[in-house]
Amino acid sequence: MTAIIEVSHLVKQFGEHRAVNDVSFTVERGEVFGLLGPNGAGKSTTIKMLTTLLSPTSGQARVNGFDIVHQTTAVRHSIGYVPQALSADGNLTGFENLLIFAKLYDVPRSTRKARVNEVLDYVGLTDASRQLVRNYSGGMIRRLEVAQSLLHQPRVLFLDEPTVGLDPVARQAIWDHLLQLKADSEMTIFLTTHSMEEADSLCSRIGIMHRGEIAAIGTPDELKATVGGENPTLNDVFVHYAGDALESGGSYRETSRARRTARRLG
């Protein structure tokens, strides 16, 4: 196995607040790696640095062998990214949304339309592809975004809270698609979540993030073993490492964003 994401002493400081504090870890090729933690733990900041949206204050990281600060174009070609908010444009059809991104990702003209139709088919949106996205359900928009992130055959797929705000059926559908993706390809999947259930059902390895640091890292079983007790669940692990954070809840900004997503879903 070779490392496809290498993070070394990564720090991000916002004014007085150290959102990510000296984080180091590696993700192997083909893994589904989950960054689990309460709101405000630094997961989104970490994913934003790895996807080149934010520059780190200090430390290094490489994605697919490329430096996230000095080789941004190569990193961007290597990754697919599904942001936290449902971001597909409601005023365009599903097909058009993907067509625009196929152009931005340099999918050659000769194969562009075929490729768009292929990924639409993969997520089961062929029939809805000519409808305006504003008529899609939240789950359909999420699937469209997963399809969009696959257009250019990325090495690493980043998903920031992929099922937040989705109803249980839509959430299960996204999980099924991601597990299918894992089965069909060697693609590395990196996701953030605050759902234990999500981490347990999808991830081959989990990093628990707490107050900007990695509190624990390992396979779900390894993590459960560290806590001890009888049949510990991932929930016990989470409480063990980040228990005090559950009480305080998320910041106002996180809450309002979750609400906005929920509103958009109707």
Partner 1 sequence: MKLQEREEPLADSARSANTTLALSYRNSLLDVVRKAGTIAEWEARKIRHDATDLVTRAVQPLLWLIVFGETFSRIHAIPTGTDSYLSYLAPGILAQSVLFISIFAGIAIIWERDLGVIHKFLASPTPRVSLVIGKGLASGIRALPQAIVIYIVAILLGAKLQANPLCILGVLVLAVLGAACFSTFSLIIACLLKTRDRVMGIGQVLTMPLFFASNAIYPISIMPNWLQVVARINPLTYVVDALRTLMLTSTTDYSSLGLDFAVILGVTAVLVAIGAWLYPRIVQ
DSSP 87: -
Q: What is the DSSP string of 6-62?
A: EEEEEEEEETTEEEEEEEEEEEETT-EEEEE--TTSSHHHHHHHHTTSS--SEEEEE
Does 100 bind partner 1 (CB under 8 A)? Our answer is yes
- Judged by CB under 8 A, the stretch of 61-69, 162-170, 202-210, 229-237 that binds partner 1 is 61-69
- 174 or 215, CB closer to partner 1? 174
Q: Does 142 bind partner 1 (CB under 8 A)?
A: no
Among 8, 121, 253, 259, binds partner 1 (CB under 8 A): 121
Q: What six digits make up the tokens of 143?
A: 């699937």
- Report, in Å, the least distance between residue 45 CB and partner 1: 10
Asked if 90 and 133 count as a contact pair (C-beta separation under 8 A), the reply is: yes
- The answer to the question of residue 8 lying near partner 1 (CB under 8 A) is no
With respect to partner 1, which residue has the nearer C-beta, 83 or 207?
A: 83
Query: In the structure encoding, which two tokens stand for residue 29, read together?
Result: 């090729």
Strand ranges (E), the chain: 3-14, 17-28, 32-36, 58-63, 66-67, 79-82, 156-160, 188-193, 205-210, 213-218
Does 76 bind partner 1 (CB under 8 A)? Our answer is yes
Candidates 42, 55, 46, 50; CA nearest to 254 is 42
Q: Does 48 bind partner 1 (CB under 8 A)?
A: yes
DSSP secondary structure string, 159-176?
A: EESTTTT--HHHHHHHHH
Residue 132 binds to partner 1 (criterion: CB under 8 A): yes
Instruction: Determine which residue in the list 23, 54, 191, 242 makes contact with partner 1, applying CB under 8 A.
Output: 54
For the record, the structure tokens of 262 come out as 């929920």
Q: What are phi and psi of 47, to 5 degrees?
A: -65, -35
Within residues 147-176, the interface with partner 1 by CB under 8 A covers 148, 150, 153-155, 158
First vs last Cα of the chain: how many Å apart? 44
Q: Does 260 bind partner 1 (CB under 8 A)?
A: yes
Tokens 């089961």 correspond to 124
- Of 2, 70, 110, 252, the one binding partner 1 (CB under 8 A) is 2
Q: Does 67 bind partner 1 (CB under 8 A)?
A: no
x-or-dash string of contact with partner 1, 178-197, rule CB under 8 A = ---x--xxxx----------
Binding positions for partner 1, rule: CB under 8 A:
2, 48, 51-54, 64-66, 71, 73-74, 76-79, 81, 83-87, 89, 91-92, 96, 100-101, 103-106, 118-119, 121-122, 132, 148, 150, 153-155, 158, 181, 184-187, 260
